[in-house]
Amino acid sequence: MNVGGTLLGEKITKRYPLRGDLQLVRLGAAAPFTCSRCGKAKTASLVAVQGNALLCNGCYGRSVAELQSYDDISLGGPDQSSLGSAPSSAVREVEPLASGVEEVTRIRVEEPDGGLPYSVVDTGLTLQWKFHVRAEHLLNGTCPVPAEMARRASQASLDITFVHVARHHSRALAEQQRAKLQRHSKQSLLTGISWQSAVLPGTRVSARWDRWKKLRFAYTSLGRPVVVAGTVVRYAYDPRIMTRDLAAFGARVDGVEELVLITLRELGYLDEQGRALLPHQALIRNTIERGVPERPSTKQIRGAIERLLLRGILTWEQGSLGRGGMLHYPTRRGEKPVQLLCYAPTLRVAEREDLAAANGHGMHSASAHRVAGHLMRIGHLGKEASAEARAAYRHDHQRAGLAGPHELPRGYTYVREHERGM
C-alpha cells in the first residue's frame, strides 16, 4: 500500500509508520466505510488497514495502545471477544505454557474474519456488502448487517433471495420470507435465517439490498467442487474460517487424537491456506484444559501427537514470536524462532463418489434429508448450551440406552435429529 495508490476509491497521500500489523494512511478526500472494530459507519480521510479490515482513527489508537501496554492475563481458552471481530483484526490468547518450557510464557494468536460486513458500498438506493459465514451464524440462524442498513430499513422483517452464482449464469436457490431485523448498538443482525445445506462455515456471501425490496444473498460457485478435510465444498470460502469453525461440526468428545486436532484448529495461528499452528507445549496444555468429560493426561496427549506426526496429519514447522507474544508464521526477521506443530487440511477436487456421498448422506447435501442428532462444539464461540438442548440430550441419551453420563459435555450443544435441505 504505497503513496499514490488508492483505497476506498481515493488516492493515498501519506503512509504513517507501521505499528505491528496496523497501517494508518491519509486519503486525498474523506471516504465512507464501516469500521471493523467498532462497527460504526464512518466518513474520514484517516483510515487504518489491518489485513483485510478497515479501522477508524479512534479504534486505531486503541489498538496501538493495546500493543504497547498488553494486559498480562491468562484467559485459559478462546477469547470470547472474537465473536465480534472483523477480518484479521481480533487477537486470541492461548493458555500460558508451563514455567521454563521453551522460554515462552504467553502466546497471542490473530483471529480470522469474525463474520462482520466488509467492502460496504452505499449508493443511497442500494447497499452492497460481503461477509463470511461463521459457525455461530449457522447454529443460530443469523447473519450480521451493516449499520447503514439497520438505520435505513423501515421494516422489521425482510424477504431474502438466495442465489447460486456461476461463471456464465446464476439461479435462485430459495426464497425466504420475513427474516427478522434486530437492531443493536454494537452489531445489528438478521435472525430466523434458514441457511442452505451446502453453506459451510467460511462461505463468502455477497449481499445486496435494494431499498424497499428483497435482500439478495449470493454464493459464488467454485465451478468444480473440492473436498476440504473430508467435507465437500461447493462455494468460494475462506480457508482459515473453514479450519477453525468446521471443527465444531460433528465433533467427537472421545479420542485424544481428535481432541488434539480440535484444540489446534480452534486455537492455533491460521495462515492464508487454512493451516493451524501452535507450539508443542501450548498444544499439550490447552488440550488438557479442553478435555471433556475427563481431562487426558500429558502422556496420552504426547502419544496422540506422535501418532499424528507418524501418519503425516501433523508436521513440524518454524514460526516466530513477536512483541507481546504474538505468534507469526513463517518466521519473521528479528523475532524469536519457535517450533510449531502444524495441521494442514487436505484439499482435492471432488470426485463423483464424493458428491454422491454428500448428496446421499452428508449434512451439507443439496436435497432434503434427515440429519442425525449430533454434538456441536460452541465453547470456543463464547456460547453455552440452552436448558432445552441439555434436556434434549439427556432424553435422547437415556432413550438410546447409551452408557456413561447423560449430561451434555461442557462446551457443546446438542442438535436433535431434523430434516434439512433446500
- Give every CB contact of residue 223 below 8 A, 6+ residues apart in sequence: 166, 167
* pLDDT tens-place string over residues 2-60: 666 888 888 989 888 888 778 888 888 888 988 887 778 888 888 989 887 888 887 78
Closest by CA position to 81, among listed 73, 92, 71, 72 = 92
**What CA–CA distance (Å, rounded) separates 289 from 323?**
26
Q: What are phi and psi of 248, to 5 degrees?
A: -80, -20
Does residue 414 register a pLDDT over 80? Answer: no
**What CA–CA distance (Å, rounded) separates 340 from 205?**
33
pLDDT given for residue 260 in this prediction? 92
pLDDT given for residue 56 in this prediction? 86
Query: Residue 165 is which amino acid?
Result: V
* pLDDT tens-place string over residues 399-412: 655 444 566 666 66
Contact 129, 207 (CB under 8 A): yes
Task: Provide, for the chain, the percentages of residues in helix, strand and coil under a 3-state DSSP scheme, each rounded to the nearest 5.
Answer: 25, 35, 40
- Using CB atoms within 10 Å of the CB of residue 9, give its burial: 0 to 12 exposed, 13 to 18 middle, 19+ buried: exposed
**What CA–CA distance (Å, rounded) separates 240 from 380?**
15
| Ranges 65-74, 167-176, 246-255, most confident | 167-176
**What CA–CA distance (Å, rounded) separates 316 from 340?**
6
pLDDT given for residue 254 in this prediction? 53
* pLDDT tens-place string over residues 289-320: 876 667 889 999 999 999 999 999 999 999 99
Among residues of the chain, what percentage have pLDDT more than 90? 35
**Tally of residues, the chain:** 422
Does residue 86 register a pLDDT over 60? Answer: no
pLDDT given for residue 392 in this prediction? 77
Does residue 236 register a pLDDT over 70? Answer: yes
**How is 108-131 classified by DSSP, letter by letter?**
EEE----S--EEEEE-SSEEEEEE
pLDDT given for residue 374 in this prediction? 56
pLDDT given for residue 98 in this prediction? 41
Locate 32 and state its grid cell.
465512507
Contact 105, 325 (CB under 8 A): yes
**Mean model confidence pLDDT for the chain:** 78
Q: What are phi and psi of 209, to 5 degrees?
A: -125, 115
Residue 324 CB-half CA count within 13 A = 20
Mean pLDDT of 131-144: 90
* pLDDT tens-place string over residues 387-401: 877 787 777 656 655
**What CA–CA distance (Å, rounded) separates 236 from 216?**
17
| Ranges 65-69, 323-327, 335-339, most confident | 335-339
pLDDT given for residue 409 in this prediction? 65
Query: Residue 147 is which amino acid?
Result: A
Beta bridge partners of 157: 180
Contact 148, 205 (CB under 8 A): no
In the DSSP assignment, the letter for residue 106 is -
CA distances to 10, 62, 321, 407 from 46, rounded to whole Å, are 11, 15, 30, 52
pLDDT tier at 130 (50, 70, 90 boundaries)?
very high
Does residue 83 register a pLDDT over 60? Answer: no
33-42, 138-147, 194-203 — which is least confidently predicted? 33-42
Closest by CA position to 206, among listed 132, 123, 112, 124 = 132
The CA R_g of the chain, rounded to the nearest whole Å, is 22
pLDDT given for residue 360 in this prediction? 57
pLDDT given for residue 400 in this prediction? 53
Does residue 249 register a pLDDT over 70? Answer: no
Locate 41 and state its grid cell.
459507519
